[in-house]
Amino acid sequence: MGYDFITGPELVRKFQNHLLHTHYVDHKIAEVEKIEELNDGFKITTSEADQYESNALIIATGMTRRKLDIPGEEKFQRKGVFYGNIQDYSFVQGSSVGVIGGGNSALQIVEKLEKIAKDIYLFTDFELTADHALIDRVKTLKKLKIYENTKVLEFEGEKVLSGVKVRVKESGEIIQIPVSGIFISIGMHPNSALVRKLVKLNDQVEIIINKDCSISHPGIFAAGDVTDAFGKRIIIASGKGAKAALAVRKYVIEHRKKSRTYSAYMEEGRTAISLLNPLSRPALSTAVRAKK
């Protein structure tokens, strides 16, 4: 698929059509709420209570931004509280703005705000952890005031955000700073909760994958930011997605072959003794041997 110029939504539509017409893969937009294991596959339930069954799954649920979970955060969503999307910068033009976080993303937001905001206040719960070059660069910005070792307690305001309440950890002093925008940038969280009971997660709750994107549970594959693969980048997620698709195709073909062998065996009227789970490996090898 090569195009000289194409918009994002148009490209996605082309992908959808390509999948549907070339590979007969349908695309449904729905939030998956539950994944349950069946004897021979999985049952998927969406937030609209639709249910689907499948022999295999690819989990590519990505990551979501961590929230602070403090008073005012929900109330002032997009009414002063933002997470750093490009379109949000226009809301704070010429205003006093806070940034919460001390890593590379937070400091990159500070650099972007420097061109448009009146003053910038940077709050971090410990010290700045971004790359040294970036820290050195932002420390020269005249508009910026840095509050290290602080805890942000609350976002304040009537209908829109008007200020932030912060505690200085060492002295316990509570300070209130008037701001009309806050950018929260305190890291990302892998969306692995859906399968946490089925698969092995590492201590950052990322899904642990093998070289072919298979995981600890047969029939489940994973790709992208939700996995423990190094490099949270579009090109890496796309590459892993392609790898997972190839691996799941191989799995489904093998799975069907085995199922067919087993049903053929059963159709011949023979009794498979002690085959409690007809798809377990010993059961299958018995079935295959019996067929031969």
Ligand X SMILES: Cc1cc2nc3c(=O)[nH]c(=O)nc-3n(C[C@H](O)[C@H](O)[C@H](O)COP(=O)(O)OP(=O)(O)OC[C@H]3O[C@@H](n4cnc5c(N)ncnc54)[C@H](O)[C@@H]3O)c2cc1C
Output the CA angle 232-246-189, nearest 5 degrees. 25
- CB closest to ligand X, residue no: 224
Determine, following the binding rule CB under 6 A, whether residue 32 of this chain makes contact with ligand X.
Answer: yes
* 85-120 burial: b if 16+ Cβ within 10 Å, else e: eeeebeebeebbbbbbbbbebbbbbbeebeeebebb
CB of 105 to ligand X, least distance (A): 7
Determine, following the binding rule CB under 6 A, whether residue 239 of this chain makes contact with ligand X.
Answer: no
Determine, following the binding rule CB under 6 A, whether residue 67 of this chain makes contact with ligand X.
Answer: no
Determine, following the binding rule CB under 6 A, whether residue 44 of this chain makes contact with ligand X.
Answer: no
Rg (CA), the chain: 26
Of the candidate residues 49, 234, 273, 276, the single one contacting ligand X (CB under 6 A): 234
**Residue of 238, 286, 227 whose CA lies nearest to 258:** 286
Distance CA 109, CA 184 (A): 10
CB of 248 to ligand X, least distance (A): 15
**Cα–Cα separations (whole angstroms), residue 287 to 40, 233, 254, 256, 283:** 16, 45, 15, 14, 6
CB of 194 to ligand X, least distance (A): 6
CB of 203 to ligand X, least distance (A): 20
Interacting positions 206-225 with ligand X (CB under 6 A):
224-225
Site residue total, ligand X (CB under 6 A): 16
Interacting positions 68-107 with ligand X (CB under 6 A):
84
**Residue of 132, 124, 129 whose CA lies nearest to 152:** 124
Determine, following the binding rule CB under 6 A, whether residue 117 of this chain makes contact with ligand X.
Answer: no
Determine, following the binding rule CB under 6 A, whether residue 133 of this chain makes contact with ligand X.
Answer: no
CB of 237 to ligand X, least distance (A): 3
DSSP state of 194: G
Range in contact with ligand X (rule: CB under 6 A) among 11-19, 55-63, 108-116, 263-271: 55-63
Distance CA 9, CA 168 (A): 45
Nearer to ligand X, 58 or 177 (CB): 58
Consecutive H or E run containing 281: helix 281-291
Distance CA 225, CA 223 (A): 7
Nearer to ligand X, 231 or 282 (CB): 231
Specify whether the backbone of 172 is left (phi greater than 0), alpha (psi in -120 to 50) or beta.
left
Consecutive H or E run containing 248: helix 234-267
**Residue of 95, 73, 93 whose CA lies nearest to 82:** 73
Range in contact with ligand X (rule: CB under 6 A) among 139-147, 203-211, 228-236, 266-274: 228-236
* 36, two tokens: 């349950």
Of the candidate residues 54, 58, 62, 149, the single one contacting ligand X (CB under 6 A): 62
Determine, following the binding rule CB under 6 A, whether residue 233 of this chain makes contact with ligand X.
Answer: yes
Determine, following the binding rule CB under 6 A, whether residue 31 of this chain makes contact with ligand X.
Answer: yes
Range in contact with ligand X (rule: CB under 6 A) among 5-13, 120-128, 231-239, 245-253: 231-239
Of the candidate residues 144, 198, 213, 237, the single one contacting ligand X (CB under 6 A): 237
Q: Contact residues for ligand X (CB under 6 A)? A: 31-32, 60-62, 84, 191, 194, 224-226, 232-235, 237
